[in-house]
Amino acid sequence: MDSISVSEVTVIGRTHLGFMHSFRQPFSGVPMSPKFCSSRVEGPRAISSSDTNTKSQFAYGERIAATSSDSGYKINGVNLKSRTLISSVKEGLLLDANDDAYGGVIVDPEKLPSLMMFCGFLQEGFEYHHAEKGYVMLTYWIPEEEPSMLPANASHQVGVGGFVLNQHKEVLVVQEKYCAPSITGLWKLPTGFINESEEIFSGAVREVKEETGVDTEFLEVIAFRHAHNVAFEKSDLFFICMLRPLSDKIIIDSLEIKAAKWMPLVEFVEQPMIREDKMFQRVIEICEARLSHRYCGLSPHQLVSTFDGKPSSLYYNVVDDDHDPSNSNCNTDFL
Ligand SMILES: NC(=O)C1=CN([C@@H]2O[C@H](COP(=O)(O)OP(=O)(O)OC[C@H]3O[C@@H](n4cnc5c(N)ncnc54)[C@H](O)[C@@H]3O)[C@@H](O)[C@H]2O)C=CC1
């Protein structure tokens, strides 16, 4: 606990739609380890979404127990008439907070009083929710008789692999500098992880460019793999993307990559590791089916959903509304 040193805290807000938004507030004034604590006070059904951002005060005490009543809250047996003042019987410490849309409160991190207070949060039963560079988030779900409804920390990492084929039916392959001994020497597709707030389609293009120096245009997601416990105990979504080469000169990223080259597809497929690997066998079959128009992958379509107001990419592949098959990207030739 004491080893945590952060200069920023993150405040998590939750909308009534169930999406989690986070926003950061610079922590200033107190030269210590601030931690954000998100808690929920029972009585959520009494709080409508219009109550969001109502200024509240959240009680911190040795043990906080809250129950709801028709007229307001009871904390540690004490009736509270107004949601805007919630006090701890034992310590009577008040924290400035905002109500959230789920009937919880979000403590104002800038008003957290002392280091002792921060350390005390864990002793009081707050749990680590997640940590990022620069902040730690702690949460506490008060109603003991109810399971916590807070969404868990992110459970997945997202990876991309680029299948880049040129007009000579050569596939762009790399040898990794650091890899398991079992795949040393394997010529494989360029792969990597998507950055925060990066699109799958642009992440695939970036990864290929970074590892090989080759410029590409994204065409389709050909398939994706879902696996668990891949790295840092996270599940893994791996999107295999077909990309069209826009250049052919290879300049490797020597930090990550030992070598890269254009390799005839038949040679790539003949590598023992690829031949024996059910996933890559199937991926290659799918790619070949795509090249001969027997299969079609998913292409991104930009839209904004009124559900959350977020610009997003919907990956699909159907003919356009006018039902004109020529509008389907299934007809696009890769070579
Ligand atoms: N590498 C492959 O042959 C395959 C990769 N994939 C998928 O590709 C996606 C990306 O995976 P990879 O490219 O294998 O990622 P990776 O494990 O090679 O990590 C990408 C880069 O992150 C860095 N890195 C990762 N862990 C590190 C550590 N512990 N210490 C220092 N640096 C570290 C390295 O620079 C590495 O080159 C994932 O979704 C994975 O499932 C799927 C099948 C095969």
Domain coordinates in residue numbering, the chain: 8-141, 156-291, 299-325
Show the 3-state SS of 196-211.
CCCCHHHHHHHHHHHH
- Report, in angstroms and rounded to the nearest whole number, the Rg of the chain calculated over CA atoms: 26
236 C-beta closer than 6 A to ligand 1: yes
Helix (H) or strand (E) holding 74: strand 72-75
203 lines ligand 1 (CB under 6 A): no
Closest residue by CA, ligand 1 atom 12: 192
- d(CA 72, CA 282) in angstroms, rounded, equals 60
Does the global pTM surpass 0.90?
A: no
Percent of the chain with pLDDT over 90: 44
Q: What is the model's pLDDT at position 115?
A: 57
C-alpha torsion sign, points 273, 229, 177, 170: positive
Looking at residue 186, its pLDDT comes to 95
Please return the burial class of 155, using the count of CB atoms within 10 Å of its CB with bins 0-12, 13-18 and 19+: exposed
pLDDT for the residue 134: 80
The CATH architecture one would assign to domain 156-291 is Alpha-Beta Complex (3.90)
Determine which residue's CA is closest to atom 29 belonging to ligand 1: 231
- SS3 (DSSP) at 17: coil
ipTM of the complex: 0.95
Which residue ranges of the chain lie beneath pLDDT 70?
A: 1-93, 109, 112-118, 319-329
Q: Indicate the pairing of strand 36-40 with strand 135-141.
A: parallel
Specify the pLDDT at position 35.
27
* Cβ of 159 less than 6 Å from ligand 1: yes
Interior/surface letters 198-211, b for 16+ CB within 10 angstroms, e for the rest: ebbbebbbbbbbeb
